[in-house]
């Protein structure tokens, strides 16, 4: 698709100006409500959680499972309507559980929800949803309890609507995978253009929010898995500092890089969800780390004047220049940042960027931690399922006609050859990642320019899906923050031929308040220029 000259609004100059017809007209009004607007309507009695959840369940049937067939929702909670009715009854009695009372949320299907397997029963009244990581090997295998972050969602009053599809095993099974595909959920596609990638690995979480199937979703990220699909699908994603949100009950890749985080249509909604998710967990050592800074309400940092006096750096080397279309929109965004009071420091480069791009230290860390962390996780599930990585490899070989149809399991096989977290090779690789990402990377760039944040294009516009060759990705923003364990916020900054582009705000550890402040102020300035690109559900072969 040729890149059109981008505009400062949400659509390129060559975009079709005709109104986009929603594929589910009867639920379009419900889809337009963000979490903040929905809470206001609940409080005013203008709608109920029962009505809203019913509309979204109908929308899932009409858009996700038929019609455009986005395939972003892997499973719907059979108790969702009952939970919505309970939240309404509580509100009628004057009881509001918390900031998400009655608000529907989707949870990525690598996050545990209580499930008793195929016994015909559920593990608790709020259960009934399996956790598969997209793999047939875990389908039907019981999970003993909700992950702590799911417990926090329910305590805040959220209605867990269902589980979002994902790139199987969070995109760590093969180096030539196709993002958005899982054997359990099928291929999740981008609602803006159905032959384009929704990104990985939180594909379903981002695509569902973009399509208006839920106002909020939880994703997880190891390196790009929240910010990539959020950028490609034109929504907001926050990848928190590792240790801000519990990983207990989350199918792991890497304890040094994994983190759950929010996906939403606005920065304020993402900040709202982050406050619910953030919390210490004695079973997750990273959340008990000295110096940890967490808030129960991140919406307090959403200030329209948040750019005034800020110092923002542009790390051109290695983190710009891989996509002319993304660069053009990001340049317009930078001019908007300056117009709203920020001082922009150009060429605020990471001293380690070349070494980051050439080093294999991250893959060594991920491969080693994956085997150790996954086997610890599997041991906590019931014995009906696989217990080791070797058993998973054997399962995939035995079910190759369904599991290995499009790509293999080379990363699983490489992880089998690792020697554990006491291996000096791993220890040195982890030390290298910390040095490259932190002291010689993000912190060095921030310190040299006395900067509040670094800004860059998040990812290029969505690429065409290729089940033969896998993802074709020329560059991205995520790796320095991933190996550092640092936060990233991505916000839509326009679109090229209807394909969204995100702007990434990157900071040091625990800098979520600053990043949210900057991202929110940018979002308000961007919104003043015109509405964002809405999903067009453009069929394959068009454009």
Instruction: Check 15, 48, 179, 201 and give the catalytic one.
Output: 201
Over 453-486, what HEC string results? EEEEECCCCCCECCCCCCCCCCCCCCHHHHHHCC
Residue 10 domain-assigned (yes or no):
no
Omega before 68 cis (within 30°)? no
Is residue 202 flagged as an active site residue?
no
Instruction: Say if 19 falls within a structural domain.
Output: no
Residue 171, helix vs strand vs coil: helix
The DSSP code sequence of 407-423 is: ---HHHHHHHT---TT-
Segments in 314-408 forming alpha helices (H): 316-319, 324-339, 353-358, 361-380, 389-398, 400-403
φ/ψ of residue 300, rounded to 5? -65, -20
Q: Residue 11 pLDDT > 80, yes or no?
A: no
201 as an active site residue: the answer is: yes
Q: Determine if residue 456 is left, alpha or beta; phi over 0 gives left, psi from -120 to 50 gives alpha, anything else beta.
A: beta
Q: Which of 306, 317, 372, 341 is nearest to 517 (CA)?
A: 306
3 pLDDT band (50/70/90 cuts)? very low
Closest C-alpha to 162, from 65, 76, 221: 76
Residues in contact with 520: Cβ distance below 8 Å, sequence separation at least 6, in sequence order: 267, 268, 271, 301, 302, 303, 304, 306
Provide the pairing of β-strand 453-457 with 499-506: antiparallel
Residue 535 inside a domain? The answer is no
Which of the residues 48, 202, 225, 254 is marked catalytic?
A: 225
Instruction: State the CATH number of the domain containing residue 71.
Output: 3.90.1300.10
Residue 20 lies in a domain: no
Instruction: Write out pLDDT tens, residues 153-193.
Output: 999 999 999 999 999 999 999 999 999 999 999 999 999 99
Which residue shows structure tokens 């040091």? 508
Query: How are strands ordered across the β-sheet holding 236-239?
Result: 73-76, 159-164, 104-108, 216-221, 259-264, 236-239, 488-496, 499-506, 453-457, 311-314, 343-346
Query: Which one is predicted more confidently, 291 or 492?
Result: 492
Residue 532 structure tokens: 């964002």
| Whole-number pLDDT of residue 167 | 98
Any domain includes 373: yes
| From 48, 72, 108, 202, the catalytic residue | 108
pLDDT digits (tens, 9 = 90+) for 432-477: 999 999 999 999 999 999 999 999 999 999 999 999 999 999 999 9
Half-sphere exposure of 183 (CA within 13 A, CB side): 21
Residue 534 lies in a domain: no
pLDDT digits (tens, 9 = 90+) for 29-54: 999 999 999 999 999 999 999 999 99
Q: Domain total for the chain?
A: 1
User: Which residue range(s) make up the domain with 467?
Assistant: 25-523
Mean pLDDT for the chain overall: 94
CB-count burial class (<10 Å; 0-12, 13-18, 19+) for 512: buried
Model confidence, pTM: 0.95
- Domain assignment present for residue 538? The answer is no
Is residue 2 in a domain? no
- pLDDT tens across 331-366, in order? 999 999 999 999 999 999 999 999 999 999 999 999
The pair phi, psi for residue 495, each rounded to 5°, is: -150, 155
End-to-end CA, the chain: 6
Model pLDDT, residue 181: 98
């Amino acid at each position: 698709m040729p890149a059109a000259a981008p505009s400062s609004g949400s659509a390129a100059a060559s975009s079709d100006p005709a109104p986009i017809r929603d594929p589910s007209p009867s639920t379009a009004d419900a889809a337009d409500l963000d979490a903040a607007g929905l809470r206001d309507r609940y409080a005013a009695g203008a709608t109920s959680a029962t009505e809203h959840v019913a509309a979204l369940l109908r929308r899932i049937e009409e858009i996700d499972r038929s019609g455009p067939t986005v395939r972003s929702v892997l499973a719907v909670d059979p108790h969702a309507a009952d939970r919505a009715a309970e939240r309404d009854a509580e509100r009628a009695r004057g009881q509001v559980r918390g900031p998400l009372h009655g608000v529907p949320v989707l949870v990525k299907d690598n996050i545990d929800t209580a499930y008793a397997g195929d016994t015909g029963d559920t593990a608790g009244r709020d259960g009934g949803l399996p956790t598969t990581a997209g793999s047939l090997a875990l389908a039907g295998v019981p999970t003993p309890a909700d992950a702590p972050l799911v417990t926090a969602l329910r305590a805040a009053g959220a209605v867990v609507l269902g589980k979002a599809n994902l790139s199987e095993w969070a995109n760590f099974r093969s180096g030539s995978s196709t993002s958005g595909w899982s054997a359990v959920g099928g291929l999740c596609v981008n609602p803006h253009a159905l032959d384009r990638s929704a990104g990985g690995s939180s594909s379903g979480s981002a695509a569902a929010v973009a399509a208006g199937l839920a106002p909020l979703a939880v994703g997880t990220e190891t390196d790009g898995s929240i910010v990539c699909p959020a950028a490609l699908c034109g929504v907001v994603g926050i990848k928190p500092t590792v240790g801000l949100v519990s990983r207990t009950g989350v199918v792991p890749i890497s304890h040094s890089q994994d983190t759950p985080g929010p996906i939403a249509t606005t920065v304020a909604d993402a900040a709202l969800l982050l406050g619910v998710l953030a919390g210490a967990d004695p079973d997750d050592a990273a959340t008990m780390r000295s110096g940890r800074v967490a808030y129960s309400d991140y919406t307090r940092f959403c200030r329209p004047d948040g750019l005034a006096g800020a110092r923002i750096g542009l790390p051109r080397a290695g983190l710009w220049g891989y996509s002319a279309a993304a660069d053009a929109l990001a340049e317009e965004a930078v001019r908007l940042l300056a117009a709203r009071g920020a001082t922009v420091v150009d060429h605020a480069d990471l001293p380690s960027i070349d070494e980051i791009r050439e080093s294999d230290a991250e893959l060594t860390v991920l491969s080693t931690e994956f085997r150790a962390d996954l086997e610890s996780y599997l041991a906590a599930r019931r014995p009906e399922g696989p217990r080791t990585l070797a058993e998973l490899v054997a399962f995939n070989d035995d079910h190759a006609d369904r599991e290995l149809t499009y790509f293999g399991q080379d990363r699983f096989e490489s992880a089998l050859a690792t020697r554990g977290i006491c291996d000096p090779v791993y220890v040195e690789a982890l030390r290298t990642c910390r040095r490259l990402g932190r002291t010689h990377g993000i912190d060095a760039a921030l310190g040299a320019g006395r900067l509040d944040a670094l800004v860059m294009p998040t990812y290029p516009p969505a690429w065409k899906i290729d089940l033969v060759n896998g993802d074709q990705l020329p560059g991205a923003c995520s790796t320095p923050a991933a190996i550092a364990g640092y936060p990233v916020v991505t916000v839509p900054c326009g679109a090229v031929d209807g394909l969204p582009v995100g702007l990434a705000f990157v900071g040091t550890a625990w800098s979520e308040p600053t990043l949210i402040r900057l991202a929110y102020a940018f979002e308000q300035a961007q919104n003043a220029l015109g509405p964002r690109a809405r999903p067009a559900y453009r069929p394959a072969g068009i454009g």
